[in-house]
Chain A
Amino acid sequence: MTYDASVRKDAAGATAPTGARPFWGRLVQWGPYRAFAALATASPRRQFAILATFPILWLLTQHLGPMVQMGRVSLLDAYPVAPGTPQTFTLDNYMRFFGDSIFWMPFFRTLAFATILTFCTLILTYPVAYFLARHVSRRNQMLMLLLLLVPFWVGEIVRTYAIMILLGNTGAVNLVLKWFGLIDRPIPFMYTGFSMGIGIVYLTALYMLLPLYSALEKLPKSYNEAAADLGAGAWTRFRRVTLPLTLEGISSGCTLVFLISTGFYATPVLLGGPSTTVFSETIAGFFHVAGDQWPTGAAFAVIMFVTALLITGVFQAFMKALRKGEKA
């Protein structure tokens, strides 16, 4: 089939309204615009540059900009300061972390919590993702995903309060246990590592579920059928076929959940107890205290950021090696 531009032009001319041209019509006929459009779209490279400008500007101003500012503040001797007060650059804020062991416990506790909770989230969400991708008809998958997404339409704080309502001394869990006569006095779930863990797993589950679902959904059913034909049992099929082929989803999900978990603040504050203080609370302390402590808080935030990136980098490299090993 060939395209005859003259036919289209004639047809358009026959049906075009006789009134004033709309704004866009006038714009495309405007000389300077036409000159600019010709210049900007003259080559694929220029087209790419035009398309990439806005996202790059967004990344620079909304993502990289604040981080650069945080890095700058972390190197100042005082911030914020009264107008006219001189500021100098220093590494003292970083040295404060390494020189005072009281900050190490919340730091390592955060990394330990994040690692354990990432693993727990993986274990809990994998079966859900598997069921969704492999046992729910395509027609119902979107509906199920939508149902799983519903709790995420409300904010972190609201969902955290929902956990409080569930786990409090007068919460639903204790009431049910009491109703069944299993307990006489409420179990103090709240303000413990348990309540904090439940909250973080609940809040991060979706970030694990979606990459896992995506990986499992792409996996052809014929692979498992072939393995079954060759005599592999259910566990062997999962271990030798499904799991290796979903390592990429596991890697993505774990990375997301781990990074998010290291930065949680409101949930540990609201659900945690006296022995679950995490590093984000320590950092926040420096921003709350009246004075010029922001640089120390910023330096601590940079330390956690870099450490979390290093850990995820090592994890990604390990997973990559694992995937290569499986392929070999």
Chain B
Amino acid sequence: MTKLILNRRHFMGTAAAAGAALASPAYLRRAHASGGEVNIWTYNDFVPEAFKDQFEAETGIKVNVRLVDDQGKQFNLLAAEQPNPTVDIMTVAGHRFLQFIDSELLAPLDTSRLSNWGNINPTFSESDWATINGEKWGAPILSGMEVLSYNTELVSEEEAMSWDTLFSEKYAGQTAYIIQDMMSIVMLKMGYDGNMVEYMDDPEKAAAIVEEAKQFLIDKKPLVRKYYDSGAEVQQMFVNQDIALGHSWNGPAAALINDGFPLGMTIPNEGSYGFVYTYNIANNAPNVDNAYTFLNAILASPEIGASMTKASGFISTYKDASNFLTDLEKKSTSFPEEQLANLQFFRAEANELKYSLVDPAVEAVKAA
């Protein structure tokens, strides 16, 4: 199975790269050979290799990618480096904007310098979370969500339509989740606002809700196989058949589906949360002009958006990107309307209150 997956992954990676190269639009040919470099902090597969190679060849701008796997790490790194950061472009999730903006780590995005801004689906580019203090702070590139992933040979779709299955005795020792993310989902499952926006004026109620969710996860701790942190970990557990189902982001799950692994994913009836990854320009970025050149180039065509989806499994925010996906890729990056109705986006307004309660709760669950 592993061999098959590796072969398929290699094949699909090659096919994606070749497709992106063939589809290389004229934007790069129009770009001036300006030289220099652009430094990017981003997740694995968020800068397609074929695009990067062509961008470098045609603009003379060297793209230096530093991989990150966590929003918090990016924040801490950038805070430590300011006011002289080494990074030009970073990848912030939309619901984490406020924290970065309040700490003056991001520069407002001058969309007038991005002639391809209109290629982004307005659902993402013009959302309420995308405009803060009257400014745009990032270019949406990929959208993700918290889903329930399941091995289709072991778990039925009906079972996977409820988060309760994740905590059932039937699948004891065969589940995994990210505790921090599950705290929000458990609150939602219990009928509360997992974003905690409703309780901004009532910290005591917020604390009581977090306590209830924490206690729930502690009670269910004997049933879980593994608390994990990264997408690669949950993929590994599914492939090794260490787990039958688990909470995950849709990206890593979709990547496994595209590799031919018998995996399904749902947005359960109790609901779930979505988020949008954006490319942002760091405050005091050393290569601002190159950063805008890069952003405009990567937004140039839906083929690039599709190649990002193929590689990462997350859903493209580009208009018409799905036209360049295979049927299997479309299936792995789309959900039925009735499931999408259960989805809401993470919001940032109450983050300070929320994480001041959730972070210690996570430690308590781990320690219990």
Contact = CB atoms under 8 A, between A and B. Distances in A.
Interface of A: 80-83, 100, 102-106, 164, 168-171, 186, 188, 190-191, 269-270, 273-275, 277, 281-282, 285, 287-291, 294
Contact of A170 (B72, B241, B355): B241
A290 B362 contact: no
6 contacts: A80-B79, A81-B79, A102-B360, A188-B173, A274-B224, A282-B363
B27 interface: no
B103 interface: yes
Given A275-B221, A285-B363, A290 B241 contact: no
Interface in B45-92: 70-76, 79-80, 82-83
B72 A291 contact: yes
B240 A82 contact: no
A282 B362 CA distance: 10
A188 B76 contact: no
A290 B75 contact: yes
Interface stretch (B132-140, B225-233, B251-259): B225-233
B101 to A, nearest CB: 11
Chain B: interface size category: 35 or more
Contacts of A83: 82-83, 104
Interface string B1-41: 10000000000000000000000000000000000000000
A288 B70 CA distance: 7
B241 A273 contact: no
Interface string B268-307: 0000000000000000000000000000000000000000
B103 A191 contact: no
Contacts of B193: none
Given A169-B241, A191-B225, 6 more contacts: A103-B363, A164-B236, A169-B240, A274-B221, A274-B224, A290-B76
Interface of B is mostly: helix
Given A82-B105, A171-B240, A274-B226, A289 B355 contact: yes
B359 interface: yes
A191 B175 CA distance: 11
A290 B99 contact: yes
Contacts of B181: none
Contacts of B242: 168-169, 188, 190-191
Contacts of B99: 290-291
Contacts of B224: 274
A105 B72 contact: no
B364 interface: yes
Contacts of A277: 366-367
A191 B226 contact: yes
A190 B70 CA distance: 25
A193 to B, nearest CB: 13
Nearest to A106: B367
A290 B83 CA distance: 18
A81 B226 CA distance: 33
B347 interface: no
Given A169-B242, A171-B240, A188-B242, A289 B359 contact: yes
B96 interface: yes
Contacts of B173: 188
Could you say which of B80, B226, B233 has the most chain A C-beta atoms within 10 Å of its C-beta?
A: B226
A161 to B, nearest CB: 9
Nearest to B360: A102
A290 B71 contact: yes
B72 to A, nearest CB: 4
B241 A285 contact: no
B176 to A, nearest CB: 8
Could you say which of B76, B96, B221 has the most chain A C-beta atoms within 10 Å of its C-beta?
A: B76
Given A82-B105, A290-B75, A291-B75, A170 B80 contact: no
A55 to B, nearest CB: 29
A282 B360 CA distance: 11
A313 B242 CA distance: 41
B82 A168 contact: no
B96 A290 contact: yes
Interface in B331-361: 355, 359-360
Nearest to A83: B83
A294 B76 contact: yes
A186 B173 CA distance: 12
Nearest to A101: B367
Nearest to A277: B366
Interface string B209-241: 000000000000100111101000100100011
A80 B73 CA distance: 11
A269 B229 contact: yes
B72 A290 contact: yes
Nearest to A78: B79
B363 A288 contact: no
Given A188-B242, A291-B72, A102 B364 contact: yes
Could you say which of A83, A188, A269, A287 has the most chain B C-beta atoms within 10 Å of its C-beta?
A: A83
A186 B240 CA distance: 11
B367 A285 contact: no
